[in-house]
Amino acid sequence: MGRLEGKVAIVTGCGSQGPGWGNGKAIAVTFARQGASVYGVERNRAAAEETAQLIGAEGKDFAFGIGDVTDKPSVEALVADCVARFGRVDVLVNNVGLSRPGDPATMSEEDWDAQIDINLKSAFLCCKAVLPLMEAQGAGAIVSIASTAAIRYTGKPQAGYAAAKAGLVQFSRVVAVDYARRGVRLNCVLPGLMNTPLVEKLAEDFASRETGMDRDAFFQRRHDQVPIGRMGEAWDVANAALFLASDEAKYITGTELLVDGGLCAAVRG
């Protein structure tokens, strides 16, 4: 019997931004393998369809909706579609996120607003839509994928991203306390330096333009920063999210699980 048997889970950002395994795709597949009926949310239909094919090939339950989690009507429609298909929502994983480099002097106001919207407002809107459902059921688990950038400076000038992820952590703590006696748990996973398709884009967008490093040098620097000696994988994030979403974590709420290979322990902040 799977650790999420009989549960319905919404996973936002359920696809990958390129070939390989991103956090959302790995979480969706892991949850499905553990018995959950998974409802994926994506803006990119091709990415969602790839996840659907992977899960369908294993005979597991998966459906997806295309929408924008920074838009309230879109979020409401997606959650309603999930309930229409599966009857309830037991787990929400707020997985969408995007980092843009810059400090207040160099970042445009538009980029700042976009960072807050995608990394923080999206979680607010998704929680707003599912919390009444979970409260009515008397149970629910919300796992938000934040970042070590929420609690440490980890090597990149990303003021907007760091502020938004820090906000996500504190948002989760406050709501966790408010909903503790209503049966709903909220926790965060804080990934460190991960080896995902998004990192390939970072190698292009950040490394070449901002530092002049080529891809291999950029990747090696990231490996070298981690005490374990290598970046993590999307499966590391997925397994942490699985634990926090499962009943094994029934006495855990309002906290953060670092998945960083010891990075934050070695970085002063």
Whether this prediction's pTM lies above 0.75 is answered by: yes
CATH numbers and ranges of domains, the chain: 8-192+233-259 (3.40.50.720)
Predicted confidence (pLDDT) per residue in 76-130, tens digit: 999 999 999 999 999 999 999 988 889 999 999 999 999 999 999 999 999 999 9
Would you place residue 202 in the very low, low, confident or very high pLDDT band (cuts 50, 70, 90)? Answer: confident
Catalytic residues: 161
User: Which residues of the chain form beta strands (DSSP E)?
Assistant: 8-12, 37-42, 62-66, 91-94, 140-145, 184-191, 256-259
Task: Single out the residue of 52, 206, 75 nearest to residue 130, CA to CA.
Answer: 75
DSSP state of 122: H
* DSSP track, 127-169: HHHHHHHHHHHT-EEEEEE--GGGTS--SS-BHHHHHHHHHHH
* Both structure tokens of 127: 């929680």
How far apart are the C-alpha atoms of 252 and 176, rounded to whole Å? 10
* Both structure tokens of 149: 């950038």
What's the mean per-residue pLDDT of the chain? Answer: 93
More reliable by pLDDT, 2 or 211: 2
* Both structure tokens of 89: 């929502």
Asked if the model's pLDDT at residue 212 lies above 70, the reply is no
